[in-house]
Amino acid sequence: MRIRLCLAALSLVGGAGTATLTAPTASAATCSDIDVVAARGTFEPGTLGLIVGDPVFSALQRKLTGKTLSSYAVNYPADLSLTSAAQGNADLVNHVKAQATACPNQRYILVGYSQGANVVDNSIGISSAGAVVGSPIVATLPAAVEPRVAAVLLFGNPIRALGKSVTGTYQSRTIDFCATGDPVCENGGDDVLAHLGYTADAAAAADFAAGKV
């Protein structure tokens, strides 16, 4: 019930029409130094995501002044359907693979908020099956691309409520924010509004990523 309330609160951020929002059409980014690939949360408005993706990208632009940055909004429903996260998982992997082929020197920062964190988790080989708005893994980033992923920035990550986290290859490059009381990422959390406050962590996430680039 708490999770449903949290998702409902998130949908209200963008007004009454957020449930009908669609993701931008997939398109190849230019060969920037760093492509920021962001998966928004459930019903989250904004280009990359009003609460996380957009402010994180702005913080990265301010922090990484010596690098050229491009951005990509993962193209997926970000709704409560059973296949939503899986669609995002496939699109993220397909985008990064295409970029890696087209731009041999490009690196990647992966950003995921709420359901978008499930999308990123799956894409780096950590299953979100069983988590709220999660799914089994349908695609993973190839081993050849792995060294080019500079940082993984996660916010309100639902797998944490299952006692899981990012382990293995990407662990040292991952920062995973979970606000106290956030019922989406904290088992037993009861502060619905905590899930909507991750804009405040954008600068800390950018600082972390800068140390990995």
Dig out the tokens for 174 from the structure.
């991952």
Report which of 134, 141, 113 is spatially closest to residue 13, judged by C-alpha positions: 113
Alpha-carbon distance 8 to 2, whole Å?
Answer: 10
**Of the listed 70, 114, 123, 128, which one is catalytic?**
114
Alpha-carbon distance 117 to 103, whole Å?
Answer: 25
Q: Is the dihedral of CA 52, 58, 64, 68 positive or negative?
A: positive
**Of the listed 84, 95, 135, 195, which one is catalytic?**
195
Active-site residue flag, 195: yes
For 139, residues 6+ apart whose C-beta sits below 8 A from its C-beta are 89, 90, 93, 94, 122, 123
Active-site residue flag, 54: no
Active-site residue flag, 84: no
**Of the listed 54, 176, 182, 201, which one is catalytic?**
182
Residue with tokens 């890696």: 100
Active site (catalytic) residues: 114, 182, 195
